[in-house]
């Protein structure tokens, strides 16, 4: 079985709507057993708004990893019961452009 990062890279290489891509990424993190729950928070004003998420939440063991695109925080990858923080950091880096698109469009569908 390939690593969760390999699976995320395959999802990103297929492309598609940013929201659909991010939904597939968080689902993959849960399905591969890397986390119990995963979600993407979009930066909005002074706070963050939950976007795509998957799994069963367990807020007692939640980690937050900033998603940075070209020096600006555009979101947060959050995960419950994560076993590998470096994995989450790598995924946050990989999805940053897709989070930027979702953030810029306020979650509305966007066509290039």
- Which domains are assigned to the chain? 4-104 (3.30.450.40)
The answer to whether residues 78 and 99 touch, using CB atoms and an 8 Å cutoff, is no
Long-range contacts of 1-5 (CB under 8 A, 24+ apart): 1/32, 4/28, 4/29, 4/32, 4/34, 4/87, 4/91, 5/87, 5/90, 5/91, 5/94
Q: Does residue 110 register a pLDDT over 80?
A: no
Mean of all residue pLDDT scores within the chain: 88
Instruction: Work out the percent of the chain whose per-residue pLDDT is above 90.
Output: 71
| DSSP 8-state symbol, 91 | H
> Using one digit for the tens of pLDDT, what is the confidence trace for 57-99?
999 999 999 999 999 999 999 999 998 999 999 999 999 999 8
Global confidence as pTM? 0.86
The answer to whether residues 67 and 74 touch, using CB atoms and an 8 Å cutoff, is yes
The pLDDT of residue 100: 80
Which residue has better confidence, 18 or 101?
A: 18
């Amino acid at each position: 079985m390939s690593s969760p990062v390999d699976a995320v890279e395959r999802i990103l290489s297929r492309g598609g709507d940013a929201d659909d891509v991010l939904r597939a990424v968080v689902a993959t993190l849960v399905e591969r057993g890397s986390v119990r729950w995963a979600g993407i928070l979009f930066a909005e004003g002074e706070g963050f708004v939950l976007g795509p998420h998957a799994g069963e939440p367990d807020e007692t063991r939640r980690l937050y990893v900033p998603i940075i695109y070209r020096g600006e925080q555009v979101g947060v990858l959050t995960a419950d019961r994560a076993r590998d923080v470096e994995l989450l950091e790598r995924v946050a880096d990989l999805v940053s452009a897709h989070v930027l698109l979702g953030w810029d469009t306020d979650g509305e569908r966007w066509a290039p």
